[in-house]
Chain A
């Protein structure tokens, strides 16, 4: 197992190398000049050229790349063109809201979706099952921002129970943090619940028809034990996969959710960086997201061996 983990960690290196080259080239080939953005609307061509020279953007692409990659290998991700801060500092500042949103969403989604899926499978064909299926289709079809605006309208504007926007650090004001996390987490969790509940239902349903479940029932085990110990455990591999993929979806969804709720996280940082063509920030954020994707996949693979002892690496 340790050998497998080591091999997987080593395999991250070529993945990141490809991502680094691809992202660097894509950013340079797509239109949009950070110097023009920095200079502002009234600037002249000469002023823009001066800024471009100061930022080193007039150097050949290969030269710019070698400098950047050399610095990255030494742990230096460069300085943002706009914020007068190192990219590492910027990311450190913005990671907390995204992490908080992801964790809250994950807890809410998994704790709701798995029991819902199991119950739907167990009461297959019932009203509850149809409700879960209907919710899944709806949750997956409605865009995140529509859900967000509806929740804000009802719970923040009309009822006034929760704030419209903003973020308070957990260490500063715990209740403030919680009340600002409720709506964004629900918004993002809706899609996630729909996805996980549907897969859980399908997996458990498939397992419920297996011989060993009949045997378990014949032995006189209670429904709870049959469901939790035999059915759910054997259905865990696809559920685990979809939860893992869902974490990747969370990153995408966070971009929209953070904008709708004014959370100063990595999602919004990415949008701002792309709109202003802040190359060092975009490059580093995408590398970071790639590392997260690869590590999540590794964790899923390790999770398989825990739930299904037949899987060995």
Chain B
């Protein structure tokens, strides 16, 4: 009886030790990450979804990349040359670059990748307008021949956010740009494990043992991409409270974007560190429909801009002043194109001026339809603030609540508001997408070709074209200022505050790089 008891005790102890120890061993070099959304689409050229972009950074590499100081640096490219007339760009790839299936990365692969991306991305489309042809010089060198000089070649090839010009093997890149790719073979620091990944549960990536990082120290998205964990698991967890519970319990290592109202819970846990990995943050936007009354009238759009103020939005949505910044710069405070010229009207409400402009414009009191998204927590409170401020400024407002998917469908409609259309809504974007008037799609003012709201302002388009062709940084900055002033004068749209969302990591996880995108090279787990 005694022996049996001892045997049972030993078995129980063994079982406990085995269950306790085995996950520890298995997980010692596994980084478990929860992202801001579920990863369903694996083609970062087909969709602009940020989770898909993040997946792209794990498995693909880029020709150029933006460093921590927002400067574009060579990444897969070893060296590049520009002809004296600035129309021929010659790129030479680094030695030893390999796809995950062992084949070498060639010029032909890069040309096909750029061509597919250039059919989908806004900056890519603009660049392709200037491209006469691509020429493969040899297996490692290729040329991009332009019709005329273009000032944003490097900014375009090193653009950090969706759609990122990721390099793919030629056979994959030849897929129709409007069809999803089947293969996830890249040349990046991690290799996607299709068999272990299950959408809705987890996505698994293993360290690429053959990846050749650059020699420089990592900086932002540039420099040496050294994978310091063997395995990255992206764990799908839609419930934010569950994400917070999981990191407190040590079941995951990183939560990319915990909601602001739960940050105090995480702050109080000694095993969790809040990490401001994206110093550029995000920017809120108010967008008008320029094609229907009353915002087809620039004076009425301007009246709306006079009525609003950034602080009210930021207080209502983010709350804690540590995580937001009132900023008059359309191209993001602290970046090369930043200026607060003309943007006083976005900083402080002037209801009298708003009413005066409405009177001058002959506003007839028809309620404007304001779409409110109720499913994205960070956006939910923006619309009620707008309703309140615009009403104080003399507008009548009909705020209509809906889920984000309905809003993104309805914003495509050009019908009058009482027939399913709209007048105004809010969105936000990562600041990295807003650094210049070409990548910042809210500045496009080409009528039907513009982003939703369809502003049509030939003057603005002329300025943007001049900016795109300008190769002198000082002159380009002056043009950016003129573009900002023109947007405000014409009431094109409003940038209504910058905000920051720290990520949460367990205290034994270090090396999370500061960049506009969450990247997982350089991260160590002790």
| A residues neighboring B (CB under 8 Å) | 31-33, 36-48, 50-51, 54, 82-85, 90, 93-94, 149, 152-153, 156-157, 160, 163-167, 175-176, 259-262, 264, 268-269, 271-272, 275-277
Q: B429: which A residues are within 8 A, CB to CB?
A: 41-42
**Chain B residue nearest to A163 in the complex (CB):** B251
Partner of A160, one of B249, B433, B449: B249
Q: Could you tell me if B251 and A276 are in contact, using CB atoms closer than 8 angstroms?
A: no
Q: Could you tell me if A42 and B409 are in contact, using CB atoms closer than 8 angstroms?
A: no
Q: Could you tell me if A261 and B200 are in contact, using CB atoms closer than 8 angstroms?
A: no
**Chain A residue nearest to B406 in the complex (CB):** A31
CA distance A153 to B238 in the complex (A): 18
Does B2 lie at the interface of the complex (its beta carbon under 8 Å from any beta carbon of A)? Answer: no
Q: Known A38-B47, A164-B249, A277-B405; judge A83-B178 contact (CB<8 A).
A: no
Does B42 lie at the interface of the complex (its beta carbon under 8 Å from any beta carbon of A)? Answer: yes
Q: Could you tell me if B200 and A268 are in contact, using CB atoms closer than 8 angstroms?
A: yes
Interchain residue pairs A-B with the least CB separation, the first 4: A40-B48, A264-B201, A33-B409, A82-B40
Q: Could you tell me if A42 and B441 are in contact, using CB atoms closer than 8 angstroms?
A: yes
**Chain B residue nearest to A271 in the complex (CB):** B238
Between B15, B199, B427, the greatest number of chain A beta carbons within 10 A of the residue's beta carbon is seen for: B199
Q: Could you tell me if B408 and A41 are in contact, using CB atoms closer than 8 angstroms?
A: yes
Q: A85: which B residues are within 8 A, CB to CB?
A: 199
- What would 6 A/B residue contacts be, using CB atoms closer than 8 Å? A42-B441, A45-B452, A149-B241, A164-B246, A259-B238, A260-B241
> Digit string of B162-179 for contact with A (CB within 8 Å is 1, else 0)?
100000000000000011
CA distance A247 to B120 in the complex (A): 47
Between A44, A160, A272, the greatest number of chain B beta carbons within 10 A of the residue's beta carbon is seen for: A44
Residues of B14-52 contacting chain A, CB below 8 A: 15, 19, 38, 40-42, 46-49, 52
Q: Could you tell me if A175 and B19 are in contact, using CB atoms closer than 8 angstroms?
A: yes
Partner of A44, one of B41, B241, B449: B449
CA distance A164 to B249 in the complex (A): 7
Q: Could you tell me if B248 and A165 are in contact, using CB atoms closer than 8 angstroms?
A: no
CB distance from B19 to the nearest CB of A (A): 6
Q: Could you tell me if A165 and B406 are in contact, using CB atoms closer than 8 angstroms?
A: no
| B: contact size bracket | 35 or more
Q: B182: which A residues are within 8 A, CB to CB?
A: 84
CA distance A261 to B122 in the complex (A): 39
Q: Known A40-B47, A94-B200; judge A175-B15 contact (CB<8 A).
A: yes
Partner of B48, one of A42, A84, A272, A277: A42
Q: Known A50-B178, A262-B239, A276-B405; judge A40-B162 contact (CB<8 A).
A: yes
**Chain B residue nearest to A85 in the complex (CB):** B199
Does B236 lie at the interface of the complex (its beta carbon under 8 Å from any beta carbon of A)? Answer: yes
Q: Could you tell me if A54 and B38 are in contact, using CB atoms closer than 8 angstroms?
A: no
Q: Could you tell me if B409 and A264 are in contact, using CB atoms closer than 8 angstroms?
A: no
Q: A40: which B residues are within 8 A, CB to CB?
A: 47-49, 52, 162
Q: A264: which B residues are within 8 A, CB to CB?
A: 198, 200-201, 236
Q: B235: which A residues are within 8 A, CB to CB?
A: 166, 262
Q: Could you tell me if B237 and A36 are in contact, using CB atoms closer than 8 angstroms?
A: no
Q: Could you tell me if B433 and A42 are in contact, using CB atoms closer than 8 angstroms?
A: yes
Q: B478: which A residues are within 8 A, CB to CB?
A: none
CA distance A268 to B201 in the complex (A): 10
CA distance A165 to B49 in the complex (A): 26
Q: A37: which B residues are within 8 A, CB to CB?
A: 405, 408
> Digit string of B240-267 for contact with A (CB within 8 Å is 1, else 0)?
0110011011010000000000000000
| B residues neighboring A (CB under 8 Å) | 15, 19, 38, 40-42, 46-49, 52, 120, 122, 162, 178-180, 182, 198-201, 235-239, 241-242, 245-246, 248-249, 251, 375, 402-403, 405-406, 408-410, 412, 427, 429, 433, 441, 448-449, 451-452
Partner of B40, one of A93, A164, A166, A276: A276
Partner of B237, one of A38, A44, A165, A275: A165
Q: Could you tell me if B41 and A167 are in contact, using CB atoms closer than 8 angstroms?
A: no
Q: Could you tell me if A36 and B412 are in contact, using CB atoms closer than 8 angstroms?
A: yes
Q: B251: which A residues are within 8 A, CB to CB?
A: 163-166
Q: Could you tell me if A262 and B242 are in contact, using CB atoms closer than 8 angstroms?
A: yes
Q: Known A94-B200, A262-B242, A264-B200; judge A36-B409 contact (CB<8 A).
A: yes
Q: Could you tell me if B412 and A48 are in contact, using CB atoms closer than 8 angstroms?
A: yes
Q: Could you tell me if B410 and A31 are in contact, using CB atoms closer than 8 angstroms?
A: yes
Q: B38: which A residues are within 8 A, CB to CB?
A: 272
CA distance A299 to B489 in the complex (A): 71
CB distance from B196 to the nearest CB of A (A): 12
CA distance A83 to B410 in the complex (A): 24
**Chain B residue nearest to A33 in the complex (CB):** B409
Q: Could you tell me if B48 and A259 are in contact, using CB atoms closer than 8 angstroms?
A: no
Q: A166: which B residues are within 8 A, CB to CB?
A: 235, 251
CB distance from B42 to the nearest CB of A (A): 7
Q: Known A39-B47, A45-B452, A84-B42; judge A157-B239 contact (CB<8 A).
A: no
CA distance A175 to B236 in the complex (A): 22
Q: A93: which B residues are within 8 A, CB to CB?
A: 198, 200
Q: Could you tell me if B405 and A83 are in contact, using CB atoms closer than 8 angstroms?
A: no
CA distance A51 to B409 in the complex (A): 13
CB distance from A9 to the nearest CB of B (A): 32
Q: Could you tell me if B246 and A165 are in contact, using CB atoms closer than 8 angstroms?
A: yes
CA distance A167 to B246 in the complex (A): 13
CA distance A51 to B120 in the complex (A): 12
CA distance A38 to B40 in the complex (A): 10
A-B contacts besides A82-B41, A84-B42, 15 pairs, CB < 8 Å: A32-B405, A38-B41, A41-B408, A41-B429, A44-B451, A83-B199, A85-B199, A157-B245, A164-B245, A165-B237, A166-B251, A167-B201, A259-B239, A261-B242, A262-B242
Between B120, B198, B239, B251, the greatest number of chain A beta carbons within 10 A of the residue's beta carbon is seen for: B239
CB distance from A41 to the nearest CB of B (A): 6
Q: Could you tell me if B178 and A275 are in contact, using CB atoms closer than 8 angstroms?
A: no
Q: A90: which B residues are within 8 A, CB to CB?
A: 199
Q: A268: which B residues are within 8 A, CB to CB?
A: 200, 238
CA distance A253 to B185 in the complex (A): 40
Q: Known A45-B452, A84-B180, A264-B200; judge A163-B409 contact (CB<8 A).
A: no
Q: B412: which A residues are within 8 A, CB to CB?
A: 33, 36, 45, 48
CB distance from B39 to the nearest CB of A (A): 10
CA distance A61 to B248 in the complex (A): 49
CB distance from A147 to the nearest CB of B (A): 14
CB distance from B515 to the nearest CB of A (A): 19
Q: Known A31-B409, A47-B120; judge A41-B427 contact (CB<8 A).
A: yes
CA distance A68 to B409 in the complex (A): 23
Q: A51: which B residues are within 8 A, CB to CB?
A: 178
Q: B42: which A residues are within 8 A, CB to CB?
A: 84
CA distance A87 to B138 in the complex (A): 45
Partner of B249, one of A47, A54, A157, A175: A157
CA distance A45 to B409 in the complex (A): 10
CA distance A172 to B405 in the complex (A): 37
Q: A48: which B residues are within 8 A, CB to CB?
A: 412
CA distance A165 to B235 in the complex (A): 11
Q: Known A165-B237, A269-B200; judge A43-B48 contact (CB<8 A).
A: yes
**Chain B residue nearest to A278 in the complex (CB):** B40
Q: A271: which B residues are within 8 A, CB to CB?
A: 238
Q: B236: which A residues are within 8 A, CB to CB?
A: 262, 264
Between A33, A37, A165, A167, the greatest number of chain B beta carbons within 10 A of the residue's beta carbon is seen for: A165
CA distance A43 to B119 in the complex (A): 12
